[in-house]
Amino acid sequence: MIKIMLTERQRGILEFIQTEQREKGITPSTREIQHHFGFASQTSVMQYISTLERKGFLDRHARKARALITPVQKVRITDIPIYGQIPAGMATLTEQTIEGHVSLDARSVNASKNSRTFALRVRGDSMIDAHVLDGDIVILEDRKDVQNGDIVAALIDGETTLKRYVMEHGRPYLKAENPLYPNLVPARELRIQGVMVSLVRKQMPVSRRKRS
């Protein structure tokens, strides 16, 4: 399932609305939001509100004053660290350094309760038939137990890649979801680093051209 992330400013506006609703019992007006964030006009506020509605974080009731509400009044945002890039192509070494965070509704992450989650930015096109594209951000659960067919971040013979885990005749291998790429059979080692639970996609065109 594809998830939509929030920018820092979008998250700030959402949290301000939630705080005002919680402390005052009413939704702040667009003018109050404008003054709080220092926008030049209410037009900018309306653009942000429309974006939050489109992404599913706000719901606005027509013909009601200050009727802007958060879904079920219980949206909880969680920050998930992005540990650099992971190849969805030929396996290469990657450095596990935090390059930022992705903000999501905690209920939509799909991870097990109390599990540690992290994110990786996809590079390459070997998983396009599984709808995982170059530039996507995959959300992974930090666990070693894996089911046949799971999409995983894995260390195979010293190199890291994103592929589908397949167990066949008692032996595991990593399957590409693009016929242009070979499957990866471990010669020495196959270690699961995380199991994909969600996907975040930026709203922009994505090239599917094969990369070297």
* In-domain check, residue 208: no
106 and 120 within one domain: yes
For the entire predicted model, the pTM comes to 0.61
Confidence band, pLDDT 50/70/90 cuts, at residue 177: very high
Q: Which residue has the higher pLDDT, 209 or 12?
A: 12
Confidence band (pLDDT; 50, 70, 90) for 51? confident
Q: CA-to-CA distance for 11 and 72, rounded, in angstroms?
A: 17
Which one of the listed residues 3, 103, 126, 175 is annotated catalytic? 126
What CATH number is associated with residue 13?
1.10.10.10
Decide: 88 and 138 in contact? Cβ < 8 Å: no
Say if residue 45 is in the same domain as residue 130: no
pLDDT, greater one: 195 or 64? 195
Same domain assignment for residues 34 and 130: no
| pLDDT exceeds 90 at position 72 | no
Same domain, 94 and 23: no
Domain boundary among 73, 107, 135: 73
145-152: long-range pairs with CB below 8 Å, 24+ = 146/192, 146/195, 150/195, 150/196, 151/127, 151/195, 151/196, 152/192, 152/193, 152/194, 152/195, 152/196
**Which residues, including other chains, have CB under 8 Å from residue 197's CB and lie 6 or more apart?**
109, 110, 111, 117, 139, 140, 141
Final residue before a domain boundary, out of 73, 101, 116: 73
Residue 211 forms part of a structural domain: no
Q: Are residues 112 and 49 in the same domain?
A: no
Higher pLDDT, 194 or 7: 194
Q: Sorting pLDDT into bands at 50, 70 and 90, what band is 62? A: low
> What per-residue confidence (pLDDT) applies to 96?
56
- Identify whether residues 64 and 162 lie together within a single domain: no
Q: Are residues 59 and 95 in the same domain?
A: no
**pLDDT bracket for residue 209 (50, 70, 90):** very low
36 domain-assigned = yes
Measure the CA–CA gap between 98 and 153, rounded to whole angstroms: 16
Same domain for 45 and 90, yes or no, is no
Percent of the chain with pLDDT over 70: 75
The active-site residue, picked from 103, 163, 175, 198, is 163
Are residue 52 and residue 83 in the same domain, yes or no?
A: no
Mean of the per-residue pLDDT values of the chain: 80
Same domain as 135, residue 195:
yes
Q: What is the CATH number of the domain that holds 166?
A: 2.10.109.10
pLDDT average, residue stretch 175-189: 94
53 falls in which pLDDT band (50, 70, 90)? confident
Model confidence at 89, pLDDT cuts 50, 70, 90, reads: low
163 in active site: yes
* Residue 206 located in a structural domain: no
- Domain membership of residue 165 as a residue range: 77-200
Does residue 81 sit in the same domain as residue 68?
no
Among this protein's residues, is 103 annotated catalytic?
no
Q: Are residues 142 and 102 in the same domain?
A: yes
